[in-house]
């Protein structure tokens, strides 16, 4: 004799495999009427999180897609599930994974109550939100898995900030972030240029030092990968900007427009540089676009959307040219043992990208039909803080 299905099972059967609000209402009604189902509901949610990990997702990816597709309440719910699953599952998953959990913990620490126990208006509304979240988690597609198990002692591997061996890198990255934050905040172009140039100098030295150390010690260094969100609006232009920054730092970027992120492949110091520089340039581009748009409106212009699209497209295109010139100058000026080291790393990154994405499609510009926006964006890119990196002494 078979056992009677639980309220959770009946709610899932009613709500998770249909797309209608009526199906959610039916499932939520079953859960709201059975307070004893709460523990099982949470346990099943953590199982859905584990399923996402098996399909290649990481904590930051899941939070990003929930924020993109659903509401704040769903972000709080999924954050609680991720932290609950991580507390129960002690499987080592690598420093990047740990950093994502730490960031998630820091983000939830500022709330007045833990996400799982925060006040809610009624059981039905809460159950509706939970089922909506589970419906999304259940349907997450498989994506390219990122290797989170880095060989112990590998040079250039992500370092746990809590480990004394990574304290120097932690201090350096903190300093770089502070310099870029000041560059974005200042209203004085000369100061921003000096701050950005110093930050890029530190990033370049860090990357070169790591590459040479790996070569001299014959460390088992290999490319890794990370995902960076590319959010609407104007995703194509932003993806092209990220691609340009990645290429200048000896990385490759592959954009997944439907899921709202790019996967960047490269060696760890270069991945760090891409994340920091892309974020900074995007802030600079947005600020410059807002200022230019205000000037256009003052002149009686009203086509805001087309202006922004063309502005960001031109900015990405021109920044790509500038960064390519900087990279070419850097390689030309570099001598000694560094040239073959960098060449070998470029081959390794290309091979890893091909392995992960055998059918890579080049990102293309679309919707550029505003001459004023293009001219303003190109001019803003020319003013962006990009300096040639000094050659290794």
User: Is there a domain that residue 26 lies in?
Assistant: yes
* Residues listed for the chain: 393
Strands 252-256 and 224-229: unpaired
User: Is there a domain that residue 62 lies in?
Assistant: yes
Tell me the three state secondary structure of residue 263. strand
Shared domain for 216 and 278, answered yes or no, is yes
Shared domain for 324 and 214, answered yes or no, is yes
- Tell me which of 69 and 192 has the higher pLDDT: 69
Shared domain for 293 and 199, answered yes or no, is yes
Lowest mean pLDDT segment, chosen from 15-29, 107-121, 324-338? 107-121
- Tell me which of 112 and 69 has the higher pLDDT: 69
- Local confidence band at 257 (pLDDT 50, 70, 90 cut-offs): very high
Q: How many domains does the chain have?
A: 2
Residue 183 is predicted with a pLDDT of 79
Residue 209 is predicted with a pLDDT of 76
181 alpha-carbon distance from chain centroid? 18
Residue 333 is predicted with a pLDDT of 62
User: Is there a domain that residue 149 lies in?
Assistant: no
CA distance 272 to 284: 19
Shared domain for 206 and 132, answered yes or no, is no
User: Is there a domain that residue 227 lies in?
Assistant: yes
Shared domain for 212 and 338, answered yes or no, is yes
Tell me the three state secondary structure of residue 252. strand
Shared domain for 130 and 174, answered yes or no, is no
Angle among Cα 103, 107, 112 to the nearest 5 degrees reads 155
Output the CA torsion sign for 364, 366, 368, 374.
Answer: negative
- Local confidence band at 386 (pLDDT 50, 70, 90 cut-offs): low
DSSP string of 50-77?
HHHHHTT--HHHHHHHHHHHS-HHHHHH
Residue 379 is predicted with a pLDDT of 60
CA distance 261 to 228: 5
User: Is there a domain that residue 102 lies in?
Assistant: yes
Interval 264-284 mean pLDDT: 90
Q: Which residue, 138, 154, 184, sits at the end of a domain? A: 138
- Local confidence band at 373 (pLDDT 50, 70, 90 cut-offs): low
Considering only CA atoms, which of 80, 122, 117 is closest in space to residue 101? 80
> Model confidence over 87-118: pLDDT tens digits?
988 788 888 899 999 999 988 765 444 444 44
Shared domain for 116 and 182, answered yes or no, is no
Range of the domain at 379: 164-383
User: Is there a domain that residue 147 lies in?
Assistant: no
Lowest mean pLDDT segment, chosen from 102-111, 116-125, 267-276, 288-297? 116-125
Q: How far is the CA of 344 from the CAs of 25, 223, 272, in angstroms? A: 57, 11, 20
Q: Which residue, 138, 155, 182, sits at the end of a domain? A: 138
Shared domain for 42 and 107, answered yes or no, is yes
Lowest mean pLDDT segment, chosen from 4-13, 56-65, 159-168, 332-341? 159-168
**Average pLDDT, rounded, for the chain:** 80
CA distance 197 to 188: 14
**The pLDDT of residue 178 is above 70:** yes
CA distance 157 to 95: 9
User: Is there a domain that residue 88 lies in?
Assistant: yes
Residue 119 is predicted with a pLDDT of 46
263 neighbors 227 (Cβ within 8 angstroms) = yes
Query: How does DSSP classify residue 145?
Result: P
Interval 263-286 mean pLDDT: 90
Shared domain for 122 and 234, answered yes or no, is no
Shared domain for 174 and 77, answered yes or no, is no
Decide: residue 25, CB within 10 A, 0-12 exposed, 13-18 middle, 19+ buried.
middle
Interval 320-328 mean pLDDT: 72
Residue 156 is predicted with a pLDDT of 42
User: Is there a domain that residue 391 lies in?
Assistant: no
Shared domain for 178 and 319, answered yes or no, is yes
CA distance 33 to 36: 9
Q: How far is the CA of 177 from the CAs of 186, 196, 238, 369, in angstroms? A: 14, 10, 21, 35
Lowest mean pLDDT segment, chosen from 174-188, 249-263, 295-309? 295-309
CA distance 49 to 44: 9
Shared domain for 180 and 94, answered yes or no, is no
Return all residues near 287 (Cβ < 8 A) that are at least 6 apart. 184
CA-based diameter of the chain, in Å? 79
Residue 366 is predicted with a pLDDT of 46
């Amino acid at each position: 004799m078979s056992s009677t299905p639980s309220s959770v099972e009946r709610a899932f059967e009613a709500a998770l495999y249909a797309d209608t609000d009526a199906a959610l209402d039916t499932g939520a009604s079953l859960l709201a009427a059975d307070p004893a189902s709460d523990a099982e509901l949470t346990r099943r949610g953590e199982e859905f999180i584990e399923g996402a990990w098996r399909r290649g997702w990481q904590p930051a990816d899941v939070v990003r897609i929930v924020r993109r597709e659903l509401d704040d309440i769903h972000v709080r719910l999924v954050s609680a599930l991720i932290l609950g699953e991580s507390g129960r599952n002690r499987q080592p998953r690598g420093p990047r994974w740990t950093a994502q959990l730490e960031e998630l913990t820091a983000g939830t620490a500022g709330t007045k109550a833990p996400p799982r126990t925060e006040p809610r208006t009624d059981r039905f509304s809460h159950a509706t939100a939970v089922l909506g979240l589970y419906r999304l988690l259940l349907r997450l597609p498989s994506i390219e898995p990122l290797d989170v198990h880095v060989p112990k002692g590998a040079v250039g591997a992500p370092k746990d900030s809590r480990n004394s061996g990574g304290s120097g890198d932690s201090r350096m990255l903190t300093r770089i972030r502070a310099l870029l934050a000041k560059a974005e905040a200042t209203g004085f172009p000369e100061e921003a240029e000096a701050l950005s140039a110093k930050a890029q100098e530190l990033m370049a030295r860090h990357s070169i030092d790591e590459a040479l150390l790996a070569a001299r010690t014959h460390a088992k260094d290999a490319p890794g990968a990370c995902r960076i969100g590319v959010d609407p609006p104007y995703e194509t232009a932003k993806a092209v900007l990220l691609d340009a920054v990645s290429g200048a730092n000896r990385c490759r970027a592959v954009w997944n427009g439907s899921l709202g992120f790019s996967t960047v492949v490269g060696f760890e110091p270069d991945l760090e540089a891409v994340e920091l520089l892309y974020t900074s340039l995007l802030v600079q581009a947005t600020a410059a676009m807002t200022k230019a748009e205000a000037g256009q409106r003052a002149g009686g212009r009203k086509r805001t959307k087309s202006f922004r699209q063309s502005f960001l497209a031109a900015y990405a295109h021109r920044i790509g040219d500038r960064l390519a010139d900087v990279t070419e100058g850097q390689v030309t000026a570099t001598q000694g043992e560094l040239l073959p080291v960098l060449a070998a790393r470029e081959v390794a990154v290309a091979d890893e990208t091909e392995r992960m994405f055998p059918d890579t499609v080049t990102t293309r510009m679309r919707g550029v039909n505003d001459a004023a926006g293009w001219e303003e964006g190109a001019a803003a890119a020319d003013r962006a803080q990009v300096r040639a990196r000094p050659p290794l002494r």
